[in-house]
C-alpha cells in the first residue's frame, strides 16, 4: 500500500524520485521521504502529508546543487501500517550507523522480536515502524557486502516486503528485493528506475523487469543482476510496457475518477476486442489456458476478491449460473483464505483483482492452488503478482486506474466475467443461437455505456439534491443487487456519506426502520425480472417519507413516475444492464462528492492497492 522509487543514473536524482512518487501517490499518501547519496554521505529529507510537502521540505533543506549533482537515491510515499503518519515514522529509515537507508512496502510480522534482539545489542530506535527494525538488521548484518547483508537480514524476516536499500559504503548501486509486495525495474539508457508499479517508470523507459517473490537484485545505472536469497542467479525477461505517459495523466478532467468513468466505452471496447466469436457464438479467452473438455468437467466456480472486485464477482455468480448452469459462489478473499475451503480439481477459482497485488486475494490464490483447484485470475495490471502466480486468466486491458475508487476496472471485470460465462455456457447447454445473441449483447456494451455518460449533466443536476444527506440506501434485485452494493461503496468512499447497499427485499427486515423524511433511497428498478417487486419496495420506502432516485429502463414511464428523480438505462439483457447501471451510479457518486468538496481521487484513510492483510 505504499509507493517506493529508486533511481540510479545521470543526475538530479531528487527530482526524478519526487516525480516518481507523484505517480505512486494513489498507493498511499500520508507521509513521504527520500534519501540520496551526496559526496558519499546519506542525506535524508522527510515530511508528513503528500509528496508536494516533501518536495517543498527537501528544496528548503538542501542547496540547489545537491539536487542537481546527486545521481542515486530512494524514496517512499506511505500508507501507515505501524505508527501514525508522522515525520519520524516516514521512510526512508536508517540503520544504527546512519550509512544505510531503506524504503519498504509491506509488513514485517516478526519485527517486535527482531527489535528486542537488536535493542539487546544496544540498538536505539526512533520510530514505531517495522521498517526501521529491518534497516537496523541490515546494518547489523553488513560485513562489507551490502547485497549479502540484505540477504542475511531477509532470511530472518517473516512477512512481506518490497524494498530498496542504499549505502554510503557502496555508492553506485541499489539493492532491491520483494516478497508479497510488487517491485518493477525500469531499464533505461544509462539509468535504472525501481518502483512499486510501472506508472513511476513510464517517463523514463518502456522496458521493465518484474521481480518475483524472493528475488533480490543488484542495480546499477547500466545493469540489473538478479539472484534469489541464496545468491543463486535468476533470469527474468525484459517486458515492454506498451503504455504512454498520457495514460497516467488526467487528460483534461478535474479528477482521474471522472476521466476513468468517461473512458469506459473505450476501455470496454479494449476489454472485448478480439474476444467474441460470432460464428460459434462464444468468446475467445486464450489466457484461460483450458480445453473445452476441462471446462466441461468443471463442477463449480468460486469467485474471490475484495471490495469492488468482490462486487464484480457477485455479478459473475449470476452469469455463471444463468449462462453456464454452473454452481457458482463468491467468497470474500480474506474469509476464503482462513476458512479452510473445500476445493478439488473440478473447482475453478477465479481471483478478481484490479491491481493484482491485494494481499488477501493473493493469499486466496495460494490457498486454492494448495487445495488442487483450477485457479485463474482477472487482473488489470500486466505482470502483477496475482496474474503471475495464477499463470492463467484474462487481463482487463482497462489501462492504468489511478483513482482509488475503482470504476473502469469494475465494468471491465464484469464484461470479462460475462465472456467467461458465455464460453463456459457454450461448452454446456447454451446453444449457438443463444450464444450469438449474447455475444452481440456483450458487443453493444460500449455503446450502452456511452448513452449513460451522455446524461452526465442530468446526473450532476440530480446529484445536487442529495449532497446534504448523511445517509443513503441503495437497493436492487438479481444481478442489480451487487450493483446496489457497488453504488453504495462508491458513494461512501468518495463523499463520506454513510451509504449502504441492500437487496430490495431485505429493507423491510430491519433497515427500513432507519428511513425518515427525505432519506435517499437509490433504487435500481430497470425492466428486468423482479422489477414489479422492486417497485413495491419503493412504495414501502415512500410511505416512510424516503426520497427516491430510480434507475429505470429507457421508455419505462410507469416506473419513472414512481420516482422523485430518475436516470434512464438502455434496454438490454439483465446481466449486461449491470454495466450501464453502475456507470450511472459512478457518475452520481462522483458529482455528489464533487459538490461536497471532497478529495475524490485520494479519499481519506484509503489506498489504491491493499497489499497488507
Ligand atoms: C474500490 O473502489 C476500492 N478502492 C477497493 O474496494 C478495491 O476494489 C479493493 O481494495 C480491491 O482491490 P483490487 O481489485 O486491486 O484487488
> Ligand 1 centroid to 353 CA: how many Å?
7
Task: Point out the residues that are catalytic.
Answer: 2, 608
State the closest ligand 1 atom to the C-alpha of 305, by its place in the atom list counted from 1: 16
Mutation test residue for ligand 1: of 79, 196, 307, the one with most atoms within 8 Å of CB: 307
- Residue 406 Cα to ligand 1 middle (Å): 6
pLDDT value, residue 27 = 66
Beta strands (DSSP E) in 126-249 are 161-167, 174-179, 184-187, 192-195, 207-210, 215-219, 224-228, 239-240
Atom of ligand 1 at shortest distance to CA of 358?
16
Of ligand 1's atoms, which has the minimum distance to the CA of residue 307?
6
Closest C-alpha residue for ligand 1 atom 16 = 353
Atom 6 of ligand 1, residue of closest alpha carbon = 307
What whole-number distance in Å separates Cα of residue 183 and Cα of residue 198? 9
192-195, strands of its sheet edge to edge = 41-48, 31-38, 72-78, 3-8, 192-195, 184-187, 207-210, 239-240
Give the separation between CA 361 and CA 358, rounded to whole angstroms.
5
Residue with more model confidence, 381 or 509: 509
Q: How many CA atoms lie within 13 A of 290 on its CB side?
A: 23
Atom of ligand 1 nearest to the CA of 610: 10
491, 471 Cβ separation under 8 angstroms: no
Q: Are the CB atoms for 204 and 197 separated by under 8 Å?
A: no
551: helix, strand or coil: strand
Look at residue 189 and tell me whether its pLDDT is greater than 90.
Answer: yes
What's the pLDDT score for residue 251?
64
Which one, of 147, 174, 351, lies nearest residue 232 by Cα? 147
DSSP state of 287: G
- Ligand 1 atom nearest the C-alpha of 405 is 2
How far is the centre of ligand 1, averaged over its atoms, from the C-alpha of 251 (Å)? 23
Is the pTM higher than 0.85? The answer reads no
The residue nearest atom 4 of ligand 1, judged by CA position, is: 405
Run of H or E residues at 201: none
Could you tell me how far CA 308 lies from the centroid of its own chain?
9
Closest alpha carbon to 27 in 178, 183, 150: 183
- What residues does ligand 1 touch, defined as CB less than 6 Å away? 306-309, 353-355, 358, 361, 404-406, 489, 493, 609-610
Pocket test for ligand 1, best of 358, 491, 494, 585 (most atoms within 8 A of CB): 358
The values of phi and psi at residue 144, to 5°, are: 110, 0
Q: How far is the CA of 410 from the centre of ligand 1 (A)?
A: 9
Q: Which domains does the chain have, with CATH numbers?
A: 3-247 (3.60.20.10), 251-443 (3.40.50.10490), 451-599 (3.40.50.10490)
| Residues 200-254: tens digit of each pLDDT | 999 999 999 999 999 999 999 999 999 999 999 999 999 998 777 766 666 668 8
C-alpha cell of residue 251 = 487528460
From 27, 256, 406, 490, mutation site for ligand 1 pocket: most ligand atoms within 8 A of C-beta? 406
Average pLDDT on 57-61 reads: 93
From 304, 356, 610, mutation site for ligand 1 pocket: most ligand atoms within 8 A of C-beta: 610
Least confident of 20-34, 217-231, 278-292, 547-561: 20-34
How would you classify residue 123: left for phi > 0, otherwise alpha for psi between -120 and 50, otherwise beta? beta
pLDDT tens-digit map of 271-328: 998 899 999 999 999 888 888 888 889 999 999 999 999 999 999 999 999 999 999 9
Residue 26 has pLDDT above 80, yes or no: no
Question: What is the whole-number distance in angstroms between the Cα of residue 103 and the centre of ligand 1?
Answer: 24
Q: What percent of the chain has pLDDT over 90?
A: 81
What's the grid cell of residue 404? 482509488
Cell of 530: 423482479
Going from the Cα of 26 to the center of ligand 1, the distance in angstroms, rounded, reads 12
pLDDT for position 40 = 84
| Contact by Cβ (8 Å): 465, 565 | yes
Specify the pLDDT at position 23: 87
Q: What is the pLDDT of residues 130-160, one digit of tens each?
A: 999 999 999 999 999 999 999 999 999 998 8
Nearest CA to ligand 1 atom 9: 307
**How far is CA 537 from each of CA 313, 452, 540, rounded to the nearest angstrom?**
25, 25, 5
- The share of the chain scoring above pLDDT 70, in percent, equals 97
Residue 119 CA to ligand 1 center (angstroms) comes to: 38
Amino acid at each position: 500500500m505504499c509507493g517506493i522509487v529508486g533511481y540510479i543514473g545521470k543526475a538530479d536524482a531528487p527530482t526524478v524520485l519526487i516525480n516518481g512518487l507523484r505517480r505512486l501517490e494513489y498507493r498511499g499518501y500520508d507521509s513521504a521521504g527520500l534519501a540520496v547519496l551526496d559526496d558519499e554521505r546519506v542525506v535524508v529529507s522527510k515530511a508528513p502529508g503528500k509528496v508536494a510537502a516533501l518536495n517543498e521540505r527537501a528544496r528548503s533543506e538542501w542547496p540547489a546543487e545537491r539536487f542537481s549533482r546527486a545521481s542515486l537515491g530512494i524514496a517512499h510515499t506511505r500508507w501507515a501500517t505501524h505508527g501514525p503518519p508522522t515525520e519520524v515514522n516516514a521512510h526512508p529509515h536508517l540503520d544504527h550507523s546512519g550509512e544505510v537507508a531503506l524504503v519498504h512496502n509491506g509488513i514485517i510480522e516478526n519485527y517486535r522480536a527482531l527489535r528486542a534482539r537488536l535493542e539487546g545489542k544496544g540498538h536505539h530506535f526512533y520510530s514505531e515502524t517495522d521498517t526501521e527494525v529491518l534497516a537496523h538488521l541490515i546494518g547489523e548484518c553488513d560485513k562489507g557486502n551490502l547485497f549479502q547483508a540484505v540477504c542475511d537480514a531477509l532470511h530472518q524476516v517473516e512477512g512481506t516486503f518490497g524494498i530498496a536499500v542504499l549505502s554510503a559504503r557502496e555508492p553506485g548501486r541499489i539493492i532491491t528485493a520483494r516478497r508479497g509486495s510488487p517491485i518493477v525495474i525500469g531499464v533505461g539508457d544509462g539509468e535504472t528506475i525501481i518502483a512499486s508499479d510501472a506508472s513511476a517508470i513510464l517517463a523514463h523507459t518502456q522496458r521493465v523487469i518484474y521481480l518475483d517473490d524472493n528475488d533480490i537484485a543488484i542495480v546499477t545505472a547500466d545493469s540489473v543482476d538478479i539472484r534469489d536469497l541464496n545468491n543463486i542467479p535468476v533470469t527474468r525477461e525484459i517486458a515492454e510496457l506498451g503504455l504512454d505517459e498520457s495514460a497516467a495523466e488526467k487528460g483534461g478532467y478535474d479528477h482521474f475518477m471522472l476521466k476513468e468513468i468517461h473512458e469506459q466505452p473505450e476501455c470496454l471496447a479494449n476489454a472485448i476486442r478480439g474476444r467474441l466469436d460470432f460464428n460459434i457464438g462464444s468468446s475467445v479467452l486464450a489466457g484461460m489456458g483450458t480445453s473445452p473438455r476441462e471446462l466441461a468437467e468443471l463442477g463449480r466456480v468460486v469467485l474471490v476478491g475484495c471490495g469492488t472486485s468482490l462486487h464484480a464477482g457477485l455479478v459473475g455468480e449470476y452469469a455463471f449460473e444463468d449462462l453456464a448452469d454452473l454452481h457458482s459462489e463468491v467468497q470474500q478473499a480474506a474469509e476464503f483464505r482462513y476458512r479452510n475451503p473445500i476445493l478439488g480439481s473440478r473447482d475453478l477459482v477465479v481471483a478478481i483483482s484490479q491491481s493484482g497485488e491485494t494481499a488477501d486475494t493473493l493469499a486466496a490464490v495460494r490457498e486454492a492452488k494448495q487445495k488442487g483447484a483450477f485457479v485463474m485470475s482477472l487482473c488489470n495490471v500486466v505482470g502483477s503478482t496475482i496474474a503471475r502466480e495464477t499463470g492463467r486468466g484474462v487481463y482487463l486491458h482497462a489501462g492504468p486506474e489511478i483513482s482509488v475508487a475503482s470504476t473502469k476496472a469494475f465494468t471491465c471485470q464484469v464484461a470479462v466475467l460475462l465472456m467467461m460465462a458465455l464460453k463456459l455456457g457454450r461448452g454446456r447447454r447454451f446453444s449457438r443461437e443463444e450464444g450469438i445473441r449474447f455475444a452481440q449483447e456483450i458487443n453493444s456494451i460500449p455503446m450502452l455505456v456511452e448513452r449513460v455518460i451522455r446524461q452526465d449533466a442530468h446526473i450532476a443536476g440530480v446529484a445536487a439534491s442529495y449532497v446534504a444527506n448523511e445517509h443513503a440506501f441503495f437497493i436492487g434485485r438479481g444481478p442489480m443487487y451487487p450493483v446496489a452494493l457497488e453504488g453504495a461503496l462508491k458513494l461512501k468512499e468518495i463523499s463520506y456519506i454513510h451509504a449502504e447497499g441492500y437487496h430490495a427485499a431485505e429493507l423491510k427486515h430491519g433497515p427500513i426502520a432507519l428511513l425518515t423524511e427525505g432519506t435517499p433511497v437509490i433504487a435500481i428498478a430497470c425492466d428486468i425480472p423482479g422489477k414489479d417487486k422492486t417497485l413495491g419496495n419503493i412504495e414501502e420506502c415512500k410511505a416512510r417519507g424516503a426520497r427516491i432516485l430510480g434507475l429505470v429502463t429507457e421508455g419505462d414511464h410507469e416506473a419513472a413516475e414512481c420516482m422523485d428523480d430518475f436516470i434512464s438505462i438502455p434496454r438490454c439483457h439483465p446481466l449486461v444492464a449491470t454495466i450501464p447501471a453502475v456507470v450511472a451510479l459512478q457518475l452520481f457518486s462522483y458529482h455528489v462528492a464533487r459538490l461536497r468538496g471532497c478529495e475524490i481521487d485520494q479519499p481519506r484513510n484509503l489506498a489504491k492497492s491493499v497489499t497488507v492483510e
